[in-house]
Every structure is written in C-alpha cells, then in structure tokens.
Amino acid sequence: MPTLQVRDLPQELYNQLSFLAEKEHRSLAQETIVLLKEGIENRLNNRERRKKLLESFQGLGIDTKNLPSPEQMVREDRDSR
C-alpha cells in the first residue's frame, strides 16, 4: 500500500485532525484516510452535479458556452456597489 508524507502541516490542522481521530476512536492515519476519501468523493460529486445542471440548461435554450465565469460574475457584482 502506498505511503503519503505531508510536510509543513499547520499545527491547527494537525490539532483538528488529532481531535477528530480521538473522537472517532481512530488513529491519525485512519482518520486522515477517511477524511481524504470523503473530500475526494464530495469534490467528484460536485463536479458531476454541475455537469448535470449545465446539461439541463440545454433544454431551456441557454447557451452555456457563453456564460460568464464565476470570477467575472463576482467582479461585476463588486464593481456595481
């Protein structure tokens, strides 16, 4: 099984990980694996959800290729204030 070494882990993050591991009666390694797996699954699920949402726009006649990026939308909102 592969091994992962993390350098320069912030102390606060280590403390939170240690707290969660103790709370769940897991080792640090076990808790890290669980959290990584959950985070990766959530990220992949979010991408799939966005893809389905964009596909649903096609039935509405909305051109998704010309939609502004989230960064552009935030910039426009900030500039309008």
Judge whether residue 65 has pLDDT over 80: no
- Cα separations (Å) of 11 from 17, 34, 44, 60, 74? 10, 20, 28, 49, 32
For the chain, what percent of residues have pLDDT higher than 90?
47
pLDDT digits (tens, 9 = 90+) for 18-35: 999 999 999 999 999 999
Phi, psi of 49 (to 5 degrees): -65, -45
Domain ranges of the chain: 11-79
- The pLDDT score that the predictor gives to residue 64 is 67
Top pLDDT among 59 and 32 is at 32
